[in-house]
Amino acid sequence: MDAQHRPPQPPAGENARVTPMMEQFIEIKAANPDCLLFYRMGDFYELFFEDAEIASRALGIVLTKRGKHLGNDIPMCGVPVERSDEYLHRLIALGHRVAVCEQLEDPAEAKKRGGKSVVQRGVVRLVTPGTLTEDTLLDAKRNNYLLALASTRPSSDTEYRRFALAWIDISTGEFRVTECDNGSLSAEIARIDPGEIVVSDALYSDEDISPLLRQFEHVMPLTRDVFDGATAERRLSDYFSVATTESFGSLSRVELTAAAACVTYVERTQFGKRPPLSPPLRESAGASLAIDAATRANLELLRTLSGERRGSLFSAIDRTVTSAGSRLLAQHLAAPLTDPDAISHRLDAVEFFTSDPPIRSDIRDQLKAAPDLARALTRLVVGRGGPRDLAAIRDGLAASDALGSRLSKMPDMPADLARAANGLRQPSQSLLHDLSAALADELPAFKRDGGFIRSGYDTALDETRALRDQSRKVIAELQARYADETGLKALKIKHNNVLGYFVEVTAQHGEKLMAPPLNARFIHRQTLAGQVRFTTTELGELEAKIVSAADRVLGLELEIFERLTRDITSDGDNIKAAAEALATLDIASGLATLAVERDYTRPHIDRSLVFTIDGGRHPVVEQSISEPFIANDCDLSPPPHAGDGATGAGRIWLLTGPNMAGKSTFLRQNALIAILAQMGSFVPARQARIGVIDRLFSRVGAADDLARGRSTFMVEMVETAAILNQASERSLVILDEIGRGTATFDGLSIAWASVEHLHEVNRCRSLFATHFHELTALAAKMPRIHNATMRVKEWQGDVVFLHEVMAGAADRSYGIQVAKLAGLPASVIERAKVVLAELEADDRGKPALRGFEDLPLFQAVKQAQPPAQDDAPSAVIAALNALHPDEMSPRQAMDALYALKQTLADKTK
């Protein structure tokens, strides 16, 4: 937060004009200038000065004022503590960071120091987008990552710059680290999809990296000490209480720097509390299929282009029944594997469940009872847990134990499921039994409410409860005695947080208690509109006993809560292992359910360059339509006759055909099938064999980027350049309508040259859809180019899209027919037909490529053009000119029409 947003500081010598409470606020705010300060005052978090103005606008709450500071009104607004999570969620979503300042002592203690003493307060937590733990602030089906980015500084212009990425999900304890180069940095960040990014001040202002960082939301520059490489290993070792980081594997210095920055930021935001993080797991470069941000957006893997989950590939394939399983599925989808053996292990697990429906159904039923173990564990460890989190651990361990017993009886389980079964049996059985014995059937949301420990669990607690409950019985007996003694049957003994226990009678009976002799015993406390309230010495003494017993009951319950939390924390690693095992079972059984439900088949994945899809379907589109989806084949494998040998290059399919015929659907479905296969899922096809793809590129659709001054065509060219500069033989490239955003000759030239580059330089498997029919001539001179088109039929002047892919090239685009289907006015359609006829006639007289005949690029096109027509009118036009419609009868007009038709048929022969 810049200086103008900070609360004004009192000038020297003017502290007397600042109230003690405002002085405390200003001091705490000065220590947290980049956060909105939630300042606890009783049952509210109050905000003052500029913080209040910002929060008032962001939250739509009333802005008031509280006193004056240096002669000016102090703006103020507040939110109830009970509803603070709701407001925090909205502020975090808007990019704000919040410092939560709590009362650190009972107000009664402050009063003992004097009437003007201020309750001690302090910030106990910084709430930032990447460090959330509460269920109400998190998406249960999505990880929330904090990403730290560090880099090497090249010592020379020729040295290649390296980057390290370390990311943590504080709510689950997941901790990973990897290294990449500048070319793949954007793709790696897009894969992780962090909720918050932390970088050093120097990197944030680096002119080479700053444009990339500013594309992402919630980027937080930090002081250089957080990214100090000299102290990184020590800080990381201290966090995990180990002597050396060698047990984490061979981490480079820059990876250690990024990992240490992550844990340092976590400690600073949690004020010393250490979430139960797993040791950093290093991901090898190239272990996952590289997919850049543009491709992820174009293919709508986790979200649609509008930002919604519904309609995405994730939504179409998610059949998980637990939150952890859904998060793991999203991870697999975001980072498909490139190791055929690892992919095969995942496919084995899915096949195990597809082949045994009773086991699959039984496992899924038991999984439904498993709460989110990992997130409950984190909340308990960092002190934000409640009784229901204890119950989540209990129920999760019970489900884990039952599933472990069930799987232990299954012979010949796949390796992934065998490891999961072993993880399910890791947590302590005694912990499960202790939690089951301790927790009551009905649990409050907050531990401060008490009543969450079962009767019979703790003798001291039971005795204290009996005293408290007996005292309540005594209150009832005292009320009956007072009613008899006074003759007032309506007399009641009630309680509230202000007066404590009191005697209440109606207004008409109040005078009797205030008159002798009863006034000597009943002491007047309060008069309301319809009631009068009293107390007695006897009632006051009894209240003290009741309050003492109630406080002791809550104190004993809180002691038991803390002990159970310590036991859970000490077994935290085993609990996390069980949580991971439950998620593994959920994703495997969920994908098996999907495969059976949608008739998916197991793909064959190897290290070749094969790409053969038999009867492929679009996994999202087929679920959104009511009629059967038209399946299509695709073969991008190296042709055996191409002369490239076993390590040859893949085919390029040039796909032509009209709009609305299904070209884009066909392009996307093959990319999505490849992703599903490499993430370890069965695929929507009759058969599929795919040689591992290292990078996937997709340029489908059109959009501008006006914020960065890029037109639609500029965005298209930037994305195409990234593809042509990075694609390898193992890549899969999906391109749609390259060059259509500019003039015809410019666009055709770009598309032509791009196809040649893909064929000769990148040598990758590719699908290239285009409306430039001239490109189909390239198949005659380039052996790995294959022409394909979308099959259509014309019927009574209309076009029928069959959505089938067939060999060959389209001869027309049917744009006017599509415009008619879209609802353009009939006059516009008819005029377009006339203009098209004139243009086509002119094109026959003036070849479209005239003037380009001498360019090598267009030699093949020149050879492919039909012979030029002479300039004389055709026989059909001559016959039309000879007709006089006004002088013809209907019969003569009909005969003339058939004659014209015969003339046209003879001419086309």
Cβ neighbours for 530, distance < 8 A, ≥ 6 positions apart: 506, 507
Stretch among 477-486, 581-590, 870-879 having the lowest mean pLDDT: 870-879
CA distance 64 to 43: 17
What confidence score (pLDDT) does residue 703 get? 54
User: Rounded to an integer, what distance in angstroms lies between the CA atom of residue 724 and that of residue 719?
Assistant: 9
Secondary structure class of 134 (helix, strand, coil): coil
Listed in sequence order, the residues at least 6 apart from 708 whose beta carbon sits closer than 8 Å to its beta carbon are none
Is 867's pLDDT higher than 50?
no
Q: What would the pLDDT profile of 262-303 be if each residue is shown by its tens digit?
A: 999 999 999 878 899 999 999 988 899 999 888 998 899 999
Whether residue 260 contacts residue 236, with contact meaning beta carbons closer than 8 Å, is answered with yes
Per-residue model confidence as pLDDT tens digits over 468-478: 888 778 888 89
Cα dihedral 82, 86, 89, 90 sign: negative
> What percentage of the chain's residues is helix, strand, coil (to nearest 5)?
50, 20, 35
Distance CA 228, CA 630 (A): 58
**Cα distances (angstroms) measured from residue 639 to each of 221, 382, 758, 807:** 52, 59, 16, 15
Mean pLDDT of 535-553: 86
Give the integer Cα–Cα distance in Å for 123 and 38.
Answer: 9
Judge whether 459-563 and 604-823 match in fold.
no
More confident residue, 699 or 612: 612
> Which residues have a Cβ under 8 Å from the Cβ of 23 and sit 6 or more positions away?
10, 15
The contacts of residue 366 (CB under 8 Å, 6+ apart) are: 399, 402, 403, 406
- Contact predicate 175/280, CB 8 Å: yes
List, in sequence order, every beta strand (DSSP E) within 146-216: 146-151, 162-169, 174-181, 196-200
pLDDT digit string, tens, across residues 796-832: 666 677 788 888 877 666 677 777 777 788 787 777 7
- pLDDT of 327 reads 96
What's the pLDDT score for residue 399? 94
Does the pTM of the predicted model rise above 0.85? Answer: no
Among 13-17, 317-321, 512-516, 878-882, name the one with the lowest average pLDDT.
Answer: 13-17
At residue 5 the predicted structure's pLDDT band, cuts being 50, 70 and 90, is very low
Find where tokens 């005594």 sit: 474
- pLDDT surpassing 50 at residue 860: no
Token digits for 245? 């980081």
Determine the pLDDT at residue 705: 46
DSSP 73: E
User: What's the chain's length in residues?
Assistant: 909
Residue 802, token pair as written in the block: 């069959």
Kind plus residue range of the DSSP H or E element containing 124? strand 121-127
pLDDT band, residue 833 (cuts 50/70/90): confident
Residue 96 has pLDDT above 60, yes or no: yes
| pLDDT score, position 855 | 45
Which residue positions form the known binding site for ATP? 657-664
Q: What is the β-pairing status of strands 652-656 and 765-769?
A: parallel
Domain 459-563 bears CATH identifier 1.10.1420.10? yes
Check: CB of residue 528 under 8 Å from CB of residue 498: no
Residue 701: exposed, middle, or buried by beta-carbon count in 10 A (0-12, 13-18, 19+)? middle
What phi and psi, each to the nearest 5 degrees, are found at residue 95? 95, 5
- Position 7 pLDDT exceeds 60: no
φ and ψ at residue 274, rounded to 5 degrees: -110, 105
CATH topology of domain 318-451+571-598: MutS, DNA mismatch repair protein; Chain A, domain 3 (1.10.1420)
Find where tokens 């790409």 sit.
611
CA distance 14 to 497: 39
Reported as a pLDDT band with limits 50, 70 and 90, residue 28 is: very high
- Model confidence at 844, in pLDDT bands (50, 70, 90)? low
Confidence of residue 212 (pLDDT cuts 50, 70, 90): confident
Check whether 745 has a pLDDT greater than 70. yes
% residues pLDDT > 70 (the chain): 87
Return the CATH number of the domain spanning residue range 3-127. Answer: 3.40.1170.10
pLDDT of residue 895: 72
Whether a cis peptide bond, with omega within 30° of 0, leads into 411 is: no
Q: Are 315 and 300 in contact (CB under 8 A)?
A: no
Q: What is the pLDDT of residue 255?
A: 94
State the average pLDDT over residues 194-206: 92
Q: Angle at CA 164, nearest 5°, toward 721 and 236? A: 165
Would you state the pLDDT for residue 886? 65
The mean predicted confidence, pLDDT, of the chain is 85
The CATH class that applies to domain 137-285 reads: alpha beta
Q: Which residues are annotated as a binding site?
A: 657-664
Assess whether pLDDT exceeds 70 at residue 48: yes
- Calculate the alpha carbon distances from 768 to 241, 614, 641 in Å: 55, 19, 22
For the ranges 182-186, 416-420, 639-643, 885-889, the maximum mean pLDDT occurs at: 416-420
In Å, what is the CA distance from 658 to each residue of 655, 663, 666, 810?
10, 8, 13, 8
Which secondary structure element, helix H or strand E, spans residue 696, and what is its range?
A: strand 695-699
Q: Is the dihedral of CA 165, 698, 754, 209 positive or negative?
A: negative
Gap between the Cα atoms of 186 and 100, Å rounded: 33
- What is the average per-residue pLDDT within 642-670? 77
How many secondary structure helices (H) and strands (E) does the chain include? 31, 27
**16 pLDDT above the threshold of 50:** no
Give the angle 559-565-568 at the CA atoms, nearest 5°: 145
Q: What is the pLDDT of residue 469?
A: 82
Mean pLDDT of 547-556: 87
Q: Provide the percentage of residues in the chain whose pLDDT is more than 90.
A: 51
The neighbouring-strand residues paired with 199 are 221
Domain edges within the chain: 3-127, 137-285, 318-451+571-598, 459-563, 604-823, 824-867, 872-908
- Overall average pLDDT of the 647-659 stretch: 81
Between CA 887 and CA 676 the distance in angstroms is 69
Token code pair at residue 723: 């593809």
Pairing of strands 174-181, 162-169: antiparallel
Residue 476 DSSP SS3 = helix
Encode pLDDT of 147-181 as tens digits: 999 998 765 554 568 899 999 999 999 999 999 98
Token reading at 118 = 């201020």
DSSP class of residue 242 equals: -
Strand partners, 453: 439
Q: Are 654 and 755 in contact (CB under 8 A)?
A: yes
Q: Reduce the DSSP state of residue 426 to 3 states and report it.
A: coil
Range of 466-470, 696-700, 744-748, 789-793 with top mean pLDDT = 696-700
- Lowest-pLDDT range of 26-40, 511-525, 650-664, 667-681: 650-664
pLDDT at 857 over 60: no
Show the DSSP H helices in 198-244 as ranges.
201-204, 210-213, 229-240
Contact call for residues 546 and 468 (beta carbons, < 8 A): yes
Q: Would you call 305 helix, strand, or coil by DSSP?
A: coil
Q: Give the phi and the psi of residue 737 in degrees, each rounded to 5.
A: 60, 45
Stretch (H or E) spanning 100: strand 98-103
**Between helices 429-438 and 537-570, what is the axis angle to 10°?**
160
pLDDT number for residue 710: 59
Chain-centre distance of CA 855, in angstroms?
50
Q: Is the pLDDT of residue 235 over 70?
A: yes
CATH 3.40.640.10, domain 604-823, yes or no:
no
Written as six digits, the tokens of 165 are 């990425």
Q: Among 373, 412, 374, 410, which residue's Cα sits nearest to residue 394? A: 373
Could you read off the pLDDT of 307-335 as tens digits, one per residue?
Answer: 899 999 999 999 999 999 999 999 999 99
The CA-CA-CA angle for residues 731, 734, 735, to 5°, reads 130
pLDDT given for residue 166 in this prediction: 96
Residue tagged 């002190």 (tokens): 383
DSSP, collapsed to helix, strand or coil, labels residue 145 as coil
pLDDT above 60: residue 702: no
Task: Provide the pLDDT for residue 42.
Answer: 86
Question: How much is the pLDDT for 648?
Answer: 64
